[in-house]
Amino acid sequence: MTQNYEAAVDAKHKKSKHKRTKRSKRNIFLTVAAAVFAVYVVAVFISQQIQISGKKEELASVTQELQVQNMKNNEIQKSLDANINENKEYIERLARTGLDFVKPGERVFVNVAGN
Protein backbone atom coordinates (compact mmCIF):
# COMPACT_ATOMS: atom_id res chain seq x y z
CA MET A 1 0.00 0.00 0.00
CA THR A 2 2.81 2.36 0.66
CA GLN A 3 4.11 1.80 -2.84
CA ASN A 4 0.76 2.67 -4.35
CA TYR A 5 0.56 5.70 -2.09
CA GLU A 6 4.07 6.81 -3.06
CA ALA A 7 3.30 6.22 -6.75
CA ALA A 8 0.13 8.30 -6.46
CA VAL A 9 2.01 11.09 -4.69
CA ASP A 10 4.77 10.99 -7.31
CA ALA A 11 2.21 11.13 -10.14
CA LYS A 12 0.42 14.00 -8.45
CA HIS A 13 3.74 15.76 -7.86
CA LYS A 14 4.73 15.34 -11.55
CA LYS A 15 1.37 16.72 -12.73
CA SER A 16 1.64 19.75 -10.46
CA LYS A 17 5.24 20.29 -11.54
CA HIS A 18 4.18 20.04 -15.21
CA LYS A 19 1.36 22.55 -14.59
CA ARG A 20 3.79 24.90 -12.83
CA THR A 21 6.16 24.69 -15.77
CA LYS A 22 3.35 25.51 -18.22
CA ARG A 23 2.18 28.37 -16.04
CA SER A 24 5.67 29.79 -15.66
CA LYS A 25 6.23 29.61 -19.44
CA ARG A 26 2.91 31.34 -20.01
CA ASN A 27 3.75 33.98 -17.41
CA ILE A 28 7.13 34.60 -19.03
CA PHE A 29 5.46 34.90 -22.46
CA LEU A 30 2.87 37.35 -21.12
CA THR A 31 5.56 39.38 -19.38
CA VAL A 32 7.67 39.56 -22.53
CA ALA A 33 4.62 40.46 -24.65
CA ALA A 34 3.65 43.20 -22.19
CA ALA A 35 7.22 44.56 -22.22
CA VAL A 36 7.34 44.58 -26.02
CA PHE A 37 3.97 46.35 -26.15
CA ALA A 38 5.16 48.93 -23.62
CA VAL A 39 8.31 49.61 -25.66
CA TYR A 40 6.17 49.97 -28.79
CA VAL A 41 3.85 52.45 -27.09
CA VAL A 42 6.79 54.52 -25.85
CA ALA A 43 8.39 54.50 -29.32
CA VAL A 44 5.13 55.64 -30.95
CA PHE A 45 4.70 58.37 -28.34
CA ILE A 46 8.23 59.68 -28.89
CA SER A 47 7.76 59.59 -32.66
CA GLN A 48 4.53 61.57 -32.41
CA GLN A 49 6.14 64.15 -30.13
CA ILE A 50 8.92 64.65 -32.68
CA GLN A 51 6.33 65.09 -35.46
CA ILE A 52 4.35 67.56 -33.35
CA SER A 53 7.41 69.68 -32.64
CA GLY A 54 8.30 69.70 -36.35
CA LYS A 55 4.80 70.79 -37.31
CA LYS A 56 4.89 73.54 -34.66
CA GLU A 57 8.11 74.89 -36.18
CA GLU A 58 6.56 74.74 -39.65
CA LEU A 59 3.47 76.57 -38.40
CA ALA A 60 5.61 79.30 -36.83
CA SER A 61 7.50 79.73 -40.11
CA VAL A 62 4.33 79.92 -42.19
CA THR A 63 2.77 82.36 -39.71
CA GLN A 64 5.80 84.62 -40.00
CA GLU A 65 5.64 84.47 -43.82
CA LEU A 66 1.94 85.34 -43.64
CA GLN A 67 2.65 88.40 -41.51
CA VAL A 68 5.34 89.58 -43.94
CA GLN A 69 2.99 89.10 -46.91
CA ASN A 70 0.18 90.96 -45.12
CA MET A 71 2.54 93.88 -44.49
CA LYS A 72 3.47 93.94 -48.19
CA ASN A 73 -0.19 93.82 -49.18
CA ASN A 74 -0.98 96.73 -46.87
CA GLU A 75 1.85 98.79 -48.36
CA ILE A 76 0.62 98.10 -51.89
CA GLN A 77 -2.96 98.96 -50.93
CA LYS A 78 -1.84 102.25 -49.36
CA SER A 79 0.12 103.06 -52.52
CA LEU A 80 -2.90 102.33 -54.68
CA ASP A 81 -5.20 104.38 -52.46
CA ALA A 82 -2.81 107.35 -52.56
CA ASN A 83 -2.60 107.32 -56.34
CA ILE A 84 -6.24 106.53 -57.05
CA ASN A 85 -6.93 109.85 -58.80
CA GLU A 86 -3.84 109.55 -60.97
CA ASN A 87 -4.78 105.97 -61.75
CA LYS A 88 -8.33 106.96 -62.72
CA GLU A 89 -7.08 109.64 -65.09
CA TYR A 90 -4.53 107.27 -66.62
CA ILE A 91 -7.10 104.52 -67.11
CA GLU A 92 -9.58 106.99 -68.65
CA ARG A 93 -6.93 108.27 -71.07
CA LEU A 94 -6.01 104.72 -72.12
CA ALA A 95 -9.66 103.81 -72.61
CA ARG A 96 -10.33 106.86 -74.76
CA THR A 97 -7.22 106.68 -76.94
CA GLY A 98 -6.51 102.97 -77.15
CA LEU A 99 -9.97 101.45 -76.97
CA ASP A 100 -12.08 104.32 -78.34
CA PHE A 101 -14.37 104.33 -75.31
CA VAL A 102 -16.62 107.31 -74.46
CA LYS A 103 -18.49 108.41 -71.36
CA PRO A 104 -22.25 107.86 -71.28
CA GLY A 105 -24.05 110.71 -73.06
CA GLU A 106 -20.86 112.05 -74.65
CA ARG A 107 -20.65 112.79 -78.38
CA VAL A 108 -17.52 112.09 -80.34
CA PHE A 109 -16.81 113.95 -83.57
CA VAL A 110 -14.39 112.48 -86.05
CA ASN A 111 -12.56 114.72 -88.52
CA VAL A 112 -12.81 112.91 -91.85
CA ALA A 113 -10.80 115.52 -93.68
CA GLY A 114 -7.66 114.20 -92.05
CA ASN A 115 -6.45 117.60 -90.86
Looking at residue 99, its pLDDT comes to 81
Spatial contact of 96 and 102, defined as CB atoms under 8 Å apart: yes
Looking at residue 67, its pLDDT comes to 96
What one-character DSSP code corresponds to residue 105? T
pLDDT digits (tens, 9 = 90+) for 18-39: 556 667 878 899 999 999 999 9
pTM for the predicted model, two decimal places: 0.46
State the Cα–Cα distance between residues 6 and 14, nearest whole angstrom.
Answer: 12
pLDDT digits (tens, 9 = 90+) for 73-83: 998 888 777 76
Mean pLDDT of the chain: 82
State the Cα–Cα distance between residues 1 and 7, nearest whole angstrom.
Answer: 10
Element (H, E) at 14: helix 2-82
Looking at residue 24, its pLDDT comes to 80
Amino acid at 52: I
